[in-house]
Amino acid sequence: MTKNLITFNLKVMIKIDKADRYFSYFIRERDNWICKKCKTQYPRKAQGLHCSHFFGRRAESTRFDPNNADAHCYYCHQYLGSNPLEFTEWKKKSMSPEDFQDLIVRHNIMKKKDRKMEALIWVEALKNLCKEKGVDFSIYK
């Protein structure tokens, strides 16, 4: 008797909440809406520019860490995500060796989830960044 085996490739869907949304806007605004890899400029709130995490969003300890995130266009985000060794080399070159090592340490520390606090932190951070840059924060509401 033969058994038919069906393999399913399931992706875990991670819910995007208010904290994620404002953190993502913060990263893209910080990076001037320019892909950090290919240097393509995007208009504010463009769908083609993503907040790309070096260590995935599943890790709460680095999910909202600005050193763990960069603005990447859809193509570069997909490419780097599919090529982890290249992503690691790119990330290492984008920061000091000490900052890269500190990021690894923070990634390996457990952190309790507190989305309400994270949302408050990133709304305020984005407001302050917009104020510094002379950008109307209300476009992000």
Alpha carbons 56 and 127: distance in angstroms, whole number? 25
Domain assignment of residue 129, yes or no: no
Q: Which domain holds residue 84?
A: 18-112
Domain assignment of residue 7, yes or no: no
Instruction: Please identify which residue in the block is written with the tokens 């060796």.
Output: 97
Domain count, the chain: 1
DSSP lists the bridge partners of residue 52 as 70
Give the pLDDT confidence of 92-105 residue by residue, as tens digits: 999 999 999 999 99
What's the confidence (pLDDT) of residue 37? 98
Could you tell me the pTM of the whole model?
A: 0.88
Domain assignment of residue 136, yes or no: no
Domain assignment of residue 121, yes or no: no
Beta strands, E only, 9-126: 49-53, 69-73
Alpha carbons 18 and 67: distance in angstroms, whole number? 20
Domain assignment of residue 22, yes or no: yes
Domain assignment of residue 56, yes or no: yes
What's the confidence (pLDDT) of residue 13? 58
**Portion of the chain with pLDDT greater than 90, in percent:** 89
Give the pLDDT confidence of 1-48 residue by residue, as tens digits: 444 444 334 445 567 899 999 999 999 999 999 999 999 999 999 999
Give the pLDDT confidence of 85-141 residue by residue, as tens digits: 999 999 999 999 999 999 999 999 999 999 999 999 999 999 999 999 999 999 999
Domain assignment of residue 11, yes or no: no
- Give every CB contact of residue 119 below 8 A, 6+ residues apart in sequence: 17, 18, 19, 22
Domain assignment of residue 54, yes or no: yes
What's the confidence (pLDDT) of residue 16? 82
The answer to whether residues 20 and 58 touch, using CB atoms and an 8 Å cutoff, is no
What's the confidence (pLDDT) of residue 14? 63
What is the C-alpha end-to-end distance of the chain, expressed in Å? 60
DSSP 48-76: TEEEEESS-TT-HHHHT-GGGEEEEEHHH
